[in-house]
A and B are shown apart, each in its own frame.
Chain A
């Protein structure tokens, strides 16, 4: 599948200009709030008509303002999971899931009948409940199932986890991963959380003030993102478990990492997200230090923060990218500059199974 987007949308005091095409898998639209992410998915879903532009899915045109084409949302076969789930309050969970049964065409879109979707999302126990009796996380799972059962060719998810607390997010993330890997439907996922994007995305589209500023694979693009929890992504595999200390050793391009014991078996692929603020920089290999993980690398670039007090240092660790957030004073004191070999001291790692 391929999604091709080339649109301009002008509203009062806001202009969105987006041009990108996305690969199969999960494409994350990433940016701060107000950057135009939600406007863009609304345009793809047919809830908004763009001022100018063209959108196609698998070569089939959904919008082409020049040719006066606008396929209405009910004929797009583009599923939409909203931030606020929008389950129908007058229908049971089962009937919410089956809502599209009268008009869905199963050909060429996401496959799956009620039984398989219920199994994928683990919502069998909820079928006879009313939407209002569900928790936020359960509502979102049902909303995802409802969208899937309409057999969409493309699934849009607009910050589906934004209204949930940390525990509920952790509860849903594995389902979205399963969806990405097993449901056979490409996903466009809106988020402002770098950790979420790092964990889920195949491709990242970064939006800044209504403009696409970067598009590409998550490992390359995410370190460029200007976000509060910016960081680097490492793809690794489980090398072994150290049962005595309840640790797991991961092998990655950048070197070995020791992390708290993971449930994943040896050999399993793991994606690690390392926040810039959790990385310190040392000019010499640090000794007698409590941090377990020290990776050698070279400074690729240094980006000062807007107010000049801090800087994001991009490190090239044997091909993998790490980010470190340090103070401007440290940059000067250590004479950090691109090309300089350094050691990254990693204080903590968030690990995401991929």
Chain B
């Protein structure tokens, strides 16, 4: 494997991990709101969350560019006040991946929160736990398999994200050239086939590892709960 290929693999792992870790807390909160909340505009939130799943990735990437570009009000504010720059940086790739993976993350967590027996939550309430405690000590532990499944899905999506990323932060070697971007690049140049094939195999291996890992984790946690249902 070439140094360029290693760089792309490492960058992809960094981008995917960052995207998953950063979107997990927000994803859990949104999933809980959608599963248990009753508020005005709930279907609007639901639609917004799911939008990246159905829109062309290029459109999502372009919208991100319009919102977080260096010269846009939001982008300028983030850069000047907080020192966070997304455009043409690996952080931008992580943002694009997080947005694309978010619907998958929320969906899996929401389903597992909905499956948690509301009667157990009510019981926790009668024992003196306020709603936040109930969530932290009953709802979240019982929906952990879904949280893990969602995180893995989000990670896998982030590893493979191409359209939104390349539109938003381009394809800069060492900065935003993730694994799929490099595969694409290699297929465009003569003699790049061998490299593209190597990366494809790595990509398959990583995906399978992620899936296997989630399966094992879910089984370990799930084993404690199955008999209860």
Q: Which residues of A contact B (CB under 8 A)?
A: 45-47, 72-80, 82, 84, 86, 88-90, 99-100, 102-104, 130-132, 146-147, 150
Stretch from B63-71, B120-128, B148-156, B203-211 forming part of the interface with A: B120-128
Contacts of A76 in B (CB 8 A): 126
- Inter-chain CA distance A334–B127, complex, in Å, is 57
Q: Per a CB cutoff under 8 Å, which of B130, B131, B142 touches A90?
A: B142
- Inter-chain CA distance A233–B204, complex, in Å, is 76
- Inter-chain CA distance A84–B118, complex, in Å, is 13
- Inter-chain CA distance A147–B125, complex, in Å, is 11
Residue contact A89 to B119, C-beta cutoff 8 Å: no
The A-contacting residues of B in range 89-148, CB under 8 angstroms, are: 117, 119-120, 122-131, 133-134, 137-138, 141-142
Stretch from B14-22, B54-62, B164-172, B221-229 forming part of the interface with A: B221-229
Contacts of A99 in B (CB 8 A): 124, 127, 129, 137
Residue contact B130 to A89, C-beta cutoff 8 Å: no
* Interface of chain B: mostly helix, strand, loop or mixed: helix
Q: Which residues of B contact A (CB under 8 A)?
A: 117, 119-120, 122-131, 133-134, 137-138, 141-142, 224-225, 227-228
Contacts of B129 in A (CB 8 A): 74, 99-100, 103
- Inter-chain CA distance A76–B127, complex, in Å, is 9
Contacts of B227 in A (CB 8 A): 89, 132
Contacts of A74 in B (CB 8 A): 125-131, 133-134
- The total number of A-B Cβ pairs within 8 Å is 75
List 20 A-B pairs, Cβ < 8 Å: A47-B122, A47-B126, A72-B125, A73-B122, A73-B126, A74-B129, A74-B131, A74-B133, A79-B127, A80-B123, A80-B126, A84-B119, A86-B122, A86-B123, A90-B141, A103-B128, A103-B130, A130-B224, A132-B227, A150-B126
Residue of B nearest to A78 (CB): B126
Residue contact A90 to B122, C-beta cutoff 8 Å: no
- Inter-chain CA distance A78–B137, complex, in Å, is 20
- Inter-chain CA distance A86–B125, complex, in Å, is 12
Contacts of A72 in B (CB 8 A): 125, 130
A90-B128 contact given A73-B122, A102-B133, CB 8 Å threshold: no
Contacts of B128 in A (CB 8 A): 74-75, 77, 100, 103-104, 150
**Would you list the 8 A-B pairs with minimal beta carbon distance, nearest first?**
A89-B228, A80-B126, A86-B123, A132-B227, A103-B128, A100-B127, A73-B125, A150-B127
Residue contact A82 to B127, C-beta cutoff 8 Å: no
- Inter-chain CA distance A131–B131, complex, in Å, is 23
Residue of A nearest to B228 (CB): A89
Contacts of A150 in B (CB 8 A): 126-128
Residue contact B125 to A88, C-beta cutoff 8 Å: no
- Inter-chain CA distance A102–B129, complex, in Å, is 8
Residue of B nearest to A99 (CB): B127
Residue contact B228 to A132, C-beta cutoff 8 Å: yes
- Inter-chain CA distance A82–B123, complex, in Å, is 8
Residue contact A88 to B126, C-beta cutoff 8 Å: no
Contacts of B124 in A (CB 8 A): 88, 99
- Inter-chain CA distance A47–B122, complex, in Å, is 7
